[in-house]
Amino acid sequence: MSHELKLRVYYEDTDLAGIVYYANYLKFIERGRSEWVRSLGVDQVALKRNHGIVFAVRRVEADYLKPAKFDDELRVTTELLTETGARIVVEQAVWRGDDKLFTATVTLVCLTETGAAGRLPAEIRARIAPKLH
């Protein structure tokens, strides 16, 4: 199941030519992941407070396909690929209508507050990947 986040390109997202600066796609997909997790009923503040676990990006493999421009209405899609007790891999894309502008495979890891690898509690795993549990 894919999650969607709609957003608009603001002037601050662009360069002098009115094209979205490449690093801002990472911000767009970060928002998409945050809203995906929230839509699953996972409170990241409570996860840190109650279990000492946070999500961190381990790897991003990205392809820039077409430029987004000032005032474009975009859609960020997020879809779970795999999940283990300590790692989540998602496929994300940024769309303008039916045109795919950007795609990324993102690997997230679970860390404790000391920076060591951590494991997700079973109830959180079940929310993130219900078909796998």
Catalytic residues: 15
CA 49-132-76 angle, 5° bins = 70
Cα distance between residue 74 and residue 64, in whole Å: 15
CA trace torsion 115, 85, 25, 31 (10° rounding): -90
Task: Provide the pairing of β-strand 2-8 with 87-96.
Answer: unpaired
Residue 93: closest CA among 22, 17, 5: 5
